[in-house]
Structure formats: C-alpha cells, structure tokens
C-alpha cells in the first residue's frame, strides 16, 4: 500500500535499558559532549538557532514551536528517510562538523547511531519527561541507563479483518489466539482453497514484530560482548507457525500487505485479514477506498489465551546530535514535538500514532472511524500500545539483518532463514571488531 502517511517500513528493534556496553564503549570520541550536564554547558547570550533534520511531516509542528518560542528558532531540513540515505547524510555531516542539532532517528537505529558517535546522551534534561510516554518507547530510547532521544510515535499491532467475508465463511468473531487464527484459516480454505486467510511475515521487519510479541529478543549485551539470539525459541516458534500456514496454502504470498498483489487479492475478496500496526489503517483507506465499512480492527492474536501481549511495528524518536552546543533547548523542542497537545494533534493528522500517553486520548483518536464502520479503533490501538513488551534489544548491524533476511526468506523457508541470519549476523558483528557470541 503506497501511502505517504505510512512511515518507512523497516526492521523493528527496540533498544532496552539493559547495558549495551559494546555500543557505548565505541562512543568515546573526544568531540562528544554526551557527558556534559547542565553545569558544563557554555554560557549563551541572545537567541538560539538549531537545525532539525527529518523526513516525517513535522513542518507545521516546527512552525508551532517557533511561534511560541521566539528566542529558540528551529529550522527544519527535509532529508530522505533513514534507510534511503538519511542516516548517511546525518553522519557525514557530523563528521564534517556541519551536522544538525536534532534529527529524526528510528528506534531500531539508535544503537547503531550511538556506535557511530552520532547521538548525544540527554539524560540530564529528559528524565522528567519520560513518564509521559508508553513504556516500550522509553525502552526504545534508553541504552545503558542513558537516554538518547524523546519518543515520538509507536506502531501498536492489531488484526485488520473483513467483516463481510467473516460472515460469508461463518466466522463469528475475530481469532483471539494464533491457534484460533489457524483454525479459521483452515475453515476458509475448506470452503474455497483460492481464498487465503492472511499474510505471513515477508521480511525481517515483519518477523521481528511477530517475535517481539513472544517477549524474547534477538540481541543482548553484557560487559563488552554481544550475544546474538535471532534463533531464540520465540522466533523459532513464530517461524515454524507461519511456515506451516504457508505450506498448507492458508496464507497468500508474497507475505506482504503493501504491494499491488495484496490490493488485487483484497479487491477480489481473496484475503480476509492481515496483522500490522496502527498506521496501516491509512494504507487501507488510501488503496482500498471502495471497501469502506467492510474492514474492522481487533486485538492482535496471542500465543496464550488471555495474555494480551501485543507488539509494535515502527516508530521513531527525536535525538540530539553529538556536538550540539544547546542540548537543553534541543531536548525542550523534542519534548514539545512529542507531548504538546497541539503538536501531538498535528502529528496524528500526519499519520503518527503518538507515544505520548496523554496524546492517545486526543479527540481525533477517540471518535468512531467511518472507514471501519464507525468503530472506535483508537481504543484498540491504545490497548495494544500498553501491552507491547519492553524486552527487545537491537544490535549494531540492523541493515545487514534486514538484507540477509530478505534474501534468505526469498530463497527458502522462514525457519531456514532464521538459522542463516543468526550465523551471518554473528559474522557481521565480528567484522565490526566487537566481541560476539551466539545465544
């Protein structure tokens, strides 16, 4: 689904507050001001000016800030999304001494940017603000007990399903567990083998999101060593489950709800569900306008009845960059962007589901959604956001993991891909000169 409101879909990885000493120890550049607290900031006279580099729709929020804070001017520079060159542009500029004070950094990229000495520790300024955000996003910006960004948005996962097709195939209610999901898929296939119940994970981003729900992580770090656990039992369970559905012909290729094949299948009534984040709603509305009133939203199925665990797909922070001489004011802008009621409302209008707990009660999210038959889908997004595990840790080679998974899943089974990427990731981290073991 091609929607400008949908954030770049890249490999999800939340960094937890567990010590990531391998990444932290690589960030001891003498030019870093990450250790600087309020008492060591240089004295300033007159107005402050800072650049903010981002690709999301933040222009109106910047205008709102500038109108209310004439002595702290923010200039927004639009850059490509991180994976399409934005992060390289940021780090190149920092190396040249011409980097911005602030930048949009996706959660999964924070540890990698820290390894490159690109993000600043803002713990002295951000502590009082972090209680405003859902716990999983606070984990996402925390590394080794320090804070490297202010959460902006989150992608709580839900089940999207066709109410008309559920009725047609005699499915009384959306599946609450993955066992029920498979049973419903088998029921539909028995009635019409050409109809598929849903879509399996098609890349690392999808597989990570489903794995996060199990509460197990692909990485951990202790002392000066990384442990790679991509092939952990939770991920193996997820991989075996979806491969089983694929082998039985119960789900539709290409395992991705964001391309013309999915839209074509949906238009023909050949696919009943898909599981993805809150922001996926805008994709449905843009690509399948004529199906308004036929789609509904339910909680993401769980592995055990009643455990309520959900997951997240996507999200980013506003980080202060290394070398910024006005970190206090930079953090204040970041907090404004994420928690000021007017700014949050503007972000919601641009397709961002807020990490701000108060922001999730914005009136625009509380109303019934006509596309979903008047359903108050914001209530489901909010409930999902509160149930995202905080146990996920990201590693320093996210691009390699994403590329390797895409290749391996295109060539073989999902379980085989998990095994291959476990090995290739250990090798990639070794090439960075970091200590690493397999878990």
The per-residue pLDDT for range 309-327, each reduced to its tens digit, is 999 999 999 999 999 999 9
pLDDT at position 422: 98
Nearest to 153 by CA among 343, 326, 395, 375: 343
Q: Is the pLDDT of residue 32 over 70?
A: no
Asked whether residue 4 is domain-assigned, the answer is no
In contact, 239 and 211? CB cutoff 8 Å:
no
* 322 and 220 assigned to the same domain: no
Has residue 301 been placed in a domain?
yes
Of 30-44, 85-99, 186-200, 249-263, the range with the lowest mean pLDDT is 30-44
Q: Which H, E and C letters describe the chain, residue by residue?
A: CCCCCCCCCCCCCCCCCCCCHHHHCCCCCCCCCCCCCHHHCCCCCCCEEEEEEECCCCHHHHHHHHHHCCCEEEEEEECCCHHHCHHHHHHHHHHCCCCCCEEEEEHHHHHHHHHCCCECCCHHHHHHHHHHECHHHHHHCEECCEECCEECECCEEEEEEEHHHHHHCCCCCCCCEHHHHHHHHHHHHHHCCCCECECCCCCHHHHHHHHHCCCCCCEEEECCEEEECCCCHHHHHHHHHHHHHHHCCCECCCCCCCCHHHHHHHHCCCECEEEEECCHHHHHHHHCHHHCCCEEEEECCECCCCCCCCCECCCEEEEEECCCCCHHHHHHHHHHHHHCHHHHHHHHHCCCCECECHHHHCHHHHCCEHHHCCECHHHHHHHHHCCCCCCCCCCCCHHHHHHHHHHHHHHCCHHHHHHHHHHHHHHHHHHCCCEEEEC
Residues 6+ apart with CB under 8 A from 264: none
Q: Report whether pLDDT(17) > 70.
A: no
How many domains is the chain partitioned into structurally?
Answer: 2
301 shares its domain with 335? no
385 is a domain residue:
no
Give residue 240's domain range: 157-311+393-438
Same domain, 225 and 260: yes
Q: Do residues 428 and 397 touch, judged by C-beta distance below 8 A?
A: yes
- Domain assignment present for 3: no
* Residues 172 and 304 placed together within one structural domain of the fold: yes
pLDDT, tens digit, 9 for 90 and up, residues 61-76: 999 999 999 999 999 9
pLDDT of res. 223? 66
Mean of the pLDDT values across residues 38-48? 57
Asked if residue 409 and residue 428 are part of one domain, the reply reads yes
Average pLDDT, the chain: 88
Q: What is the 3-state secondary structure (H, E, C) of 164-187?
A: HHHHHCCCCCCCCEHHHHHHHHHH
Q: How far apart are CA 291 and CA 371, in angstroms?
A: 8
Q: Is residue 229 included in any domain, yes or no?
A: yes
Q: What is the largest CA-CA distance in the chain?
A: 74
**Whether residues 94 and 149 fall in one domain:** yes
CATH code of the domain in which 250 resides: 3.40.190.10
Residue 39 pLDDT grade (very low, low, confident, very high; cuts 50, 70, 90): very low
The pair phi, psi for residue 104, each rounded to 5°, is -80, 125
pLDDT > 70 fraction of the chain, expressed in percent and rounded: 88
User: Binning pLDDT at 50, 70 and 90, where does residue 21 land?
Assistant: very low
Using 50, 70 and 90 to split pLDDT, how confident is the model at 94? very high
| 88, two tokens | 């390289």
Q: Which tens digit of pLDDT belongs to each residue from 127-167?
A: 888 999 999 999 989 887 899 999 999 999 999 999 999 99
pTM of the model: 0.88
Residue 2 belongs to a domain:
no
| Token pair for 182 | 């498979």
Cβ count within 10 A of residue 386: 15
- pLDDT band for position 44 (cuts 50, 70, 90): low
pLDDT attached to residue 379: 97
N-to-C CA span, the chain? 36
Q: Nearest to residue 196, comparing CAs of 290, 279, 270, 247?
A: 270
For residue 366, pLDDT over 50 is answered with yes
- Give CA 71 to chain center in angstroms: 33
Say if residue 132 is in the same domain as residue 265.
no
- Stretch 261-288: mean pLDDT: 94
Q: Is residue 386 part of a domain?
A: no
Residues recorded for the chain: 439
Within-domain flag for 122: yes
- 297 and 412: one domain? yes
pLDDT band at 434 (very low <50, low <70, confident <90, very high): confident
- Give the CA distances from residue 347 to residues 149, 352, 404, in Å, rounded to whole numbers and listed in that order: 17, 5, 33
Same domain (yes/no): 252, 361: no
Residue 163 and residue 149 share a domain: no
255 and 161 share one domain: yes
Same domain? For 228 and 307 the reply is yes
Which pair of structure tokens corresponds to residue 313?
A: 């797909």
For residue range 388-398, what is the model confidence (pLDDT) as tens digits? 999 988 888 88
ω into 254 cis (within 30 of 0): yes
């Amino acid at each position: 689904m091609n929607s400008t409101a949908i954030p770049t879909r890249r490999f999800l990885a939340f960094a937890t507050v567990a010590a990531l000493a391998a990444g932290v120890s690589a960030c001891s550049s003498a030019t870093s001001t990450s250790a600087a607290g309020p008492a060591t900031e240089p004295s300033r006279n007159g107005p402050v000016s800072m650049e903010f580099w981002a690709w999301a729709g933040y222009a109106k929020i910047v205008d709102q800030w500038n109108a209310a804070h004439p002595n702290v001017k923010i200039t927004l520079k639009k850059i490509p999304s991180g994976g399409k060159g934005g992060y390289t542009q940021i780090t190149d500029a920092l190396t040249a001494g011409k980097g911005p004070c602030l930048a949009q950094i996706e959660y999964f990229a924070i540890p990698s940017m820290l390894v490159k000495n690109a993000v600043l520790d803002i713990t002295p300024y951000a502590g009082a603000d972090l209680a405003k955000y859902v716990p999983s996003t606070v984990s996402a910006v925390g590394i080794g007990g320090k804070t490297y960004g202010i959460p902006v948005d989150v992608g709580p996962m839900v089940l999207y399903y066709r109410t008309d097709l559920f009725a047609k195939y005699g499915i009384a209610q959306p599946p609450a567990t993955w066992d029920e999901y498979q049973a419903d898929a088998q029921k539909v296939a028995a009635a019409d083998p050409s109809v598929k119940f849903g879509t399996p994970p098609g890349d690392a981003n999808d597989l990570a999101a489903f794995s996060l729900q199990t509460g197990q992580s692909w990485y951990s770090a202790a002392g000066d060593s990384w442990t790679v656990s991509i092939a952990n039992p939770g991920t193996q369970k997820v991989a075996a489950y979806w491969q089983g559905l694929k082998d039985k012909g119960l789900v539709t290729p290409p395992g991705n709800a964001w391309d013309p094949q999915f839209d074509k299948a949906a238009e023909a009534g050949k696919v009943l569900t898909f599981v993805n984040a809150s922001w996926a709603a805008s994709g449905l509305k843009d690509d399948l306008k004529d199906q308004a009133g036929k789609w509904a939203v339910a909680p993401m199925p769980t592995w055990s009845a009643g455990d309520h665990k959900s997951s997240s797909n996507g999200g980013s922070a506003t980080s202060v960059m290394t070398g910024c001489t006005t970190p206090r004011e930079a953090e204040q802008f970041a907090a404004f962007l994420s928690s000021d009621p007017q700014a949050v409302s503007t972000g919601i209008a641009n397709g961002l589901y807020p990490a701000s707990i108060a922001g999730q009660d914005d009136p625009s999210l509380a109303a019934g959604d006509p596309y979903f038959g008047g359903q108050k889908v914001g209530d489901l997004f909010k409930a999902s956001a509160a149930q995202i595990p905080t146990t996920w840790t990201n590693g320093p080679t996210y691009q390699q993991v994403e590329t390797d998974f895409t290749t391996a899943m295109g060539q073989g089974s999902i379980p085989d891909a998990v095994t291959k990427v476990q090995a290739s990731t250990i090798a990639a981290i070794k090439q960075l000169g970091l200590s690493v073991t397999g878990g």
